[in-house]
Amino acid sequence: MPNQSLTSNITLVLFHNDLRVTDNATLSKAANLSSNGQLLLVYAPSLTDTLDKKVSQQVYHYDTMGQARQRFLSESLAALDASLMQLGNKLLYLQNNVATSDTFTQLNELIQQQSVTDICVSQTADYNQNQVYKCLQEQNPQVCWHVQTTATLFDKLPLDELPKSFTAFRKKTESNYDLLQAKEDIVNCPTPKSLPPMPENLRDSHEYFFAAQAFNEPSQQPPDWKGGEKSGLEHLDAYFDSDAPSIYKTTRNALDDWTHSTKLSAWLANGSLSVNMVLNRLRRYERDIIANESTYWIWFELLWREYFYWYAIAHQQKLFWFKGIAQHLPPTQFDHKRLAQWKNGTTQYPIVNACMNQLKSTGYMSNRGRQLVASCLVHELGLDWRYGAIYFEQQLIDYDVASNWGNWQYLAGVGADPRGCRQFNLNKQTQQYDPNGEFIRKWQGEV
Ligand SMILES: Cc1cc2nc3c(=O)[nH]c(=O)nc-3n(C[C@H](O)[C@H](O)[C@H](O)COP(=O)(O)OP(=O)(O)OC[C@H]3O[C@@H](n4cnc5c(N)ncnc54)[C@H](O)[C@@H]3O)c2cc1C
């Protein structure tokens, strides 16, 4: 006898930064829950817009998503849709239509019209996204929520409390749970062999079906940097099939080269790639090829990502506060003209201009570049760091709320940096990282 509550189960997966079918605990959970029922697989962009206007004035909003970021997201969603179709279902995409209704309202209506019984989401460090979940829960108290961890190496904060500095976090985590050295690989969540169908009344409703966006401008991104799970997995293999990981520590600070750092960030950020799979691939490289300081350093950087995730969860809306988690206000302000110069790459600092031009064209900037332009914004231009963070949010194809806002706080001296504030000497840095001016010429940094 089938369980009565399962036969009437209508489950909705709300994708956010978990745009994959492999090692996706949220999708697996939903497939199990709805095995005798029906399954709605939904992506709703701009969900937090409504909330920002209504509730939160703390987040400075931006106008539109940069072209490169939009392209990467659109490719990622198209790939997810294709994978879901192979499994017997399809992605439902809620259009943000100002003339009719916002995506929050549409989602709420969908939940009610379809009599959704269960909602599955991945845990997120995004404070505003969590506020949206709260509102949905309040408006639909009959629905049962299921939250899975899909974005991090650890299911929960691996320590009793979050240390104030990354170094303390790393040392404690490594001594308690050294996943790099552990005997066994992390076990991936099995991919469902097939998915239950969507409700019948939605099957012909083209209103909701995802259509990949067309982009008129040619992309300046390397062609390998294509959104989607398949491209992410191909890149993961290509990187670890090369010698690059064995020299990562000596090359990672370079300003511009595809192989000088892993370039995994964009797939990790929107969840096209599982960080567990990245770690397992790194461990395999250490077993089969070489384990050295460079391979250790890839793990070290993944721990930074982990640290900022738990930092964002711990500090919630303080992630967006001018004074951050510190007790003092930075001595900076808002100046429209200087901000425009920074964004448009027309400051008096060629290295900064080149980095900003690279960002606008490709949606990517190296970690060193990000540190230099952030230092310039705060120290040389004396600007409120949050405008820099918002501009990054708009442009970066690897935008991640925790890594972005956490790093900005760190550099502005209002975050997790025990040294307080870091100013980079831009001349010295130019000498060190672009001694022949190649990078500056390529990205037209001289005004
Ligand atoms: C001001 C500022 C803003 C940033 N914003 C973001 C962001 O929105 N999204 C993002 O993913 N990273 C961000 N970073 C961190 C870092 O610059 C990028 O992760 C990195 O440059 C991506 O390139 P990669 O994949 O080749 O990194 P690699 O050097 O190959 O590192 C491997 C992985 O480790 C993680 N990682 C590396 N450095 C950091 C770091 N400092 N903090 C957190 N995780 C890290 C990333 O997931 C990265 O893919 C920011 C750094 C600064 C200084």
**What integer best gives the mean pLDDT of the chain?**
92
For the segment 142-163, the average pLDDT, to the nearest whole number, is 96
> Residue 186 CB: number of other CB atoms within 10 A?
17
pLDDT in tens, 405-440: 999 999 999 999 877 778 999 999 999 999 999 999
Which DSSP string do the residues of 21-62 spell out, in sequence order? STT-HHHHHHHHHTTTSEEEEEE-TTHHHHHHHHT--SSPP-
pLDDT of residue 221: 73
pLDDT higher for 6 or 32?
Answer: 32
Q: How far is the CA of 403 from the centre of ligand 1 (A)?
A: 7
Q: Are 145 and 119 in contact (CB under 8 A)?
A: yes
User: Nearest residue CA, atom 43 of ligand 1?
Assistant: 305
Q: CB within 6 Å of ligand 1 — which residues?
A: 252, 261-265, 268-269, 298, 301-302, 304-305, 308, 366-367, 370-371, 374, 392, 396, 398-400, 403-404, 407-408, 411
Express as a percent the part of the chain with pLDDT over 90: 82
pLDDT of residue 99: 65
pLDDT of residue 351: 98
Size of the chain in residues? 447
pLDDT of residue 424: 96
User: Nearest residue CA, atom 21 of ligand 1?
Assistant: 367
Q: How far is the CA of 270 from the centre of ligand 1 (A)?
A: 13
On the question of pLDDT at 54 being above 60, the answer is no
On the question of pLDDT at 207 being above 90, the answer is no
Q: How far apart are CA 347 and CA 342, in angstroms?
A: 6
Q: From the centroid of its chain, how far is CA 241?
A: 25
Q: How far is the CA of 97 from the centre of ligand 1 (A)?
A: 33
pLDDT of residue 212: 76
On the question of pLDDT at 197 being above 70, the answer is yes
Range in 290-299, 344-353, 411-420 the model is least confident about: 411-420
Q: Which of 202, 18, 195 is nearest to 109 (CA)?
A: 202
pLDDT in tens, 236-269: 999 999 999 999 999 999 999 999 999 999 999 9
Q: How far is the CA of 367 from the centre of ligand 1 (A)?
A: 6
Q: How far is the CA of 175 from the centre of ligand 1 (A)?
A: 24
For the segment 143-150, the average pLDDT, to the nearest whole number, is 98
Give the domains, in start order, of the chain with CATH numbers: 4-150 (3.40.50.620), 152-187+227-319 (1.25.40.80), 321-442 (1.10.579.10)
Tell me which residue has tokens 């600070």: 253
